[in-house]
């Protein structure tokens, strides 16, 4: 359930903080099942308390699960993630609904981040459409559809100013080759929220009807990471960062939104912290897409560092 580590990558980039990573692997469930409590009891890890609501059915919050079906994407299969496994092929992960809270436990003072992916239900609905929701992109593939997760931080009951935005699907680009529905685990950096005692999740979509959002309102997370001194050492003006595909073979694309236009750099480090490539780039206000040729890299774990204008951000990727 708990791994307390000081990540090598954080030391590489000058960020020193104690972190606690909950990977959910010490939970126990029957095969192909999920957390269930008829009393609606929130469940606990070493570093956080996860909201869980039940009133005859799972009505909100989070449930940990080891469901691995990636083929049956419908309302009867709410707990499955599209990868079929947790991050790094682990057995356990967590599936959540919008409106859910996670409360951070001392001595952690904030949320560093977590991995996220789509559920099988949401992914299949967006890819193919169903009786309630449309196929993303529409018949021509040109509809600018999107599925957005937002993370809000709270401290002492007051909402923090900054929010974290991450697109679980994004068809807004005029270049259809950049359209995607997330099908891998991606890191969501929450350090910009600063010191918080809880976080809140919200989902929105371009596909809405008279009863609200048509896209199935579910997502899955893993490796929930908290820390002390979160948000102090790292400052970033980048938002909605995604690396797609990840894992990748010959190439991958960095997608992000910048709050300002400025000259910066994209640096690639190996798992030992050695800088193996740097590129000077122009970050533009609003959406940016930067293709990276990684065909010459050996297989393994790497870090992409985005820097400039007194801000920086890092994201992990795996070269297959």
- Cα–Cα–Cα angle for 138, 255, 165, rounded to 5 degrees: 80
**Predicted model pTM:** 0.76
Give CATH 2.60.120.1350 domain extents, the chain. Answer: 3-227
| Cα 73 from Cα 303, distance rounded (Å) | 33
**Architecture (CATH level 2) of domain 238-319:** Sandwich (2.60)
Residue 143 to residues 69, 172, 216, 218, Cα–Cα distance (Å): 29, 8, 18, 22
Residues linked to residue 269 through DSSP beta bridges, in sequence order: 275, 303
Q: What is the chain's pLDDT, residue by residue, as a tens digit (320 residues)?
A: 444 333 444 433 344 357 899 999 999 999 999 999 999 999 999 999 999 999 999 999 999 999 998 988 888 889 999 999 999 899 999 999 999 999 999 999 999 899 999 999 999 999 999 999 999 999 999 999 999 999 999 999 999 998 999 999 999 988 888 899 999 998 888 888 999 999 999 999 999 998 899 999 999 999 999 988 765 444 456 777 888 888 888 999 998 888 778 888 999 988 877 888 999 998 888 788 899 999 999 998 888 888 876 667 788 888 88
CA nearest 65: which of 74, 48, 78, 49? 78
| Cα 280 from Cα 92, distance rounded (Å) | 40
Give CATH 2.60.40.3080 domain extents, the chain. Answer: 238-319
Give the helix/strand (H/E) hosting 120: helix 120-128
| Cα 200 from Cα 150, distance rounded (Å) | 8
How high is the pLDDT of residue 233? Answer: 42
CA nearest 290: which of 260, 259, 272, 267? 267
Pick the CATH number of 3-227 from 2.60.120.1350, 2.40.10.120, 2.60.40.10, 3.40.50.1820: 2.60.120.1350
Is the CB of residue 63 less than 8 Å from the CB of residue 51?
A: no
CA nearest 47: which of 114, 100, 97, 118? 114
- Residue 33, CA atoms < 13 Å, CB-side half-sphere: 8
Structure token digits, residue 75: 């309302």
- Residue 241, CA atoms < 13 Å, CB-side half-sphere: 25
How high is the pLDDT of residue 9? Answer: 40
């Amino acid at each position: 359930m708990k791994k307390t580590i000081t990540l090598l990558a954080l030391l590489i980039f000058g960020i020193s903080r104690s972190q606690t990573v909950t990977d959910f692997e010490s939970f126990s469930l029957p095969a192909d099942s999920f957390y269930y409590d008829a009393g609606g009891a929130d469940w606990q890890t070493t570093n956080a308390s996860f909201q869980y609501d039940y009133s005859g059915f799972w009505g909100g919050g989070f449930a940990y699960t080891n469901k691995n079906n990636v083929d049956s994407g419908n309302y009867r299969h709410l707990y499955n993630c599209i990868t079929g496994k947790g991050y790094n092929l682990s057995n356990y992960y967590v599936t959540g609904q919008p409106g859910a809270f996670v409360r951070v436990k001392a001595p952690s003072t904030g949320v560093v981040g977590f991995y996220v992916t789509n559920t099988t239900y949401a992914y299949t609905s967006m890819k193919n459409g169903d009786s309630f929701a449309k196929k993303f992109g529409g018949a021509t593939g040109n509809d600018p559809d999107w599925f957005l997760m937002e993370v809000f931080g709270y401290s002492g009951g007051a909402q923090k100013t900054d929010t974290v935005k991450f697109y679980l699907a994004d068809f807004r680009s005029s270049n259809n080759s950049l359209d995607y529905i997330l099908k891998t685990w991606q890191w969501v950096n929450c350090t910009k929220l600063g010191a918080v005692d809880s976080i809140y999740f919200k989902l929105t979509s371009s596909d809405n009807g008279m009863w609200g959002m048509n896209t199935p309102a579910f997502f899955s997370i893993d490796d929930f990471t908290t820390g002390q001194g979160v948000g102090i050492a790292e400052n970033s003006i980048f938002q909605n960062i995604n690396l797609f595909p990840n894992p990748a073979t010959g190439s991958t694309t960095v997608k992000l939104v910048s709050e300002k236009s400025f000259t910066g750099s994209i640096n690639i480090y190996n798992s030992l912290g050695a800088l193996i490539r740097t590129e000077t780039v122009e970050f533009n206000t609003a959406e940016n897409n930067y293709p990276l040729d990684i065909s010459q890299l050996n297989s393994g774990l790497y870090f992409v560092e985005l820097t400039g204008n007194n801000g920086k951000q890092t994201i992990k990727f795996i070269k297959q």
